[in-house]
Amino acid sequence: MVVDLLVEESGWDEDHLGDLAGTACGAALAAFDLDPDRFEISLLGCDDTRIATLNADFRGKPTPTNVLSWPASDIPLPPGQMPDLPVPDPHGPPVELGDIAIAHETCVAEAAEQAKPFDDHVCHLLVHATLHLLGFDHINDGDAALMEKLETRILETLGIPDPY
């Protein structure tokens, strides 16, 4: 898994966030028999101020959130169904899936509030964001149930308990 990482918030340890992203995002891809080495994501490790600005700009919500994602391509998703997964060219460069931003302060607060290990919570959010990059969403109940089921199954492969 190629992770193009930019760390703006000093609370993130660059090497550790990169390792967590490689593991979590790679596991999400492997769950669909996609070779993680054939894919690339851009990841921004930021603070609450930066993610609030991004959330305002892209979602019209001027508040911090834990994670945001922007797929590289528009993938139509019929309600309650699997999206068409990307097929990389085995001889070409890695497929760019898109961008993820994750906010340190919100992740720390949520992990503490939910009594979860910080790394487990960050891995969950990165798996969640990767599913968005693959075209999954949780706009309706059926899609939300599918995403939660996939997240739980993927996290289980990493030894992380059901976050729900």
Rounded Cα distance between 144 and 138, Å, is 4
What are the structural domains, with CATH classification, of the chain? 2-157 (3.40.390.30)
pLDDT at 143 over 80: yes
- Using DSSP, state whether 70 is helix, strand or coil: strand
Burial call 37-61: b when 16+ CB within 10 Å, e when fewer? ebbbbbbbbbbbebbbebbeeeeee
pLDDT at 78 over 80: no
**Per-chain mean pLDDT for the chain:** 95
